[in-house]
Structure 1
């Protein structure tokens, strides 16, 4: 059994609007295991992205605690959280937040230099990772608006993993991509997981969810179901899809 890299205690997140309070996450105790590819699913408004942001330190809980290992990060200041995220977390979003005025290569280097100071070694590392995800050398000096959406998302993944994060967080990473680009991106996630990368991903898409080995289903801010699968590629894909579909049907998805 894997050890917990992240867990919550009585986690709550409430938003106020127009004098009303919306309780999005409710007294949630959840554990994220090391080296797992954890997928968070649920209907629209169930609190998937809110939970992801709370787990990653991008947003503070209203009540309760978030522990990264044995460290309570829920009480850190905004500056302390920023340092924590740079050292421990990688992020891939549906919207690809590359800096438009920087080249592909510089987009990756800029984030990495905040943590890693050996620029000569870092240049080599960036080159190797860009090549690994299929970004050809002639694209390294191009700007994001000169690349396809799939290429930009692959650059975004390199930027997210360049500092070797303990956890990679992804929020609908294939949501704005076509089928071919989605498959390319998911293949990268699968390879990262096969090498021991802990991943937490929000998705509404069953094809994307199949890449995980653990699915948490949210309803009204609570985990109401959990489904375990072998690592992707080690079992029959039809059996895998049918099993996950059956679980989702039982959850009312």
Structure 2
């Protein structure tokens, strides 16, 4: 079985998360603007509507897992899988992958593990999560500057589901595919459902150039999630 040595600890593969709470907001943004943001990766966004891509903002409370407990914020885009032909519309999003553009965390062990094992663009940040009430809130600061303050209102319950996904990363000139599966329980979804305030950090400016703040396409909250992350594979994008 493959393993990695991180800060003197052996991390076996696949990496497992036993319990996490996940909140997400999905936004439609101009496809040309999104392409400009992720151009460095060599990947292409999925146009779920003509001229429109999807930007995903998410925050996670990892409560039990191989990489310990920590908070995480993610900025990602739905992409066409490398080599895929044709377009990816709203009805066939399972054909899309998720490119992780930025992934701040608040603990050093998961920071090093994420970067070394999978090439996730993890950075240290101050992530304040308020998940004890029906309204889920994340306040994210980096280098003392506010990046964003986002509030998500849970919607209607939907059945539990398990979904295999492909996450894509790019770090130090290398693009990778990360097999990722999620089992979600306690899931709620609603149209719209997010309030967002941007700060003065460069990522906030990037989000502003994508058209945020605006009404979310939809939001989701998952009160009980388990995940597995497989070994990363290098991807040729040319």
- Relative contact order: is structure 1 or structure 2 higher (C-alpha 8 Å, sep ≥ 6)? 1
Structure exhibiting the larger radius of gyration computed from Cα positions:
1
Higher strand share: 2
TM beyond 0.5: no
**TM-score, structure 2 length as denominator?**
0.25
Higher helix share: 1
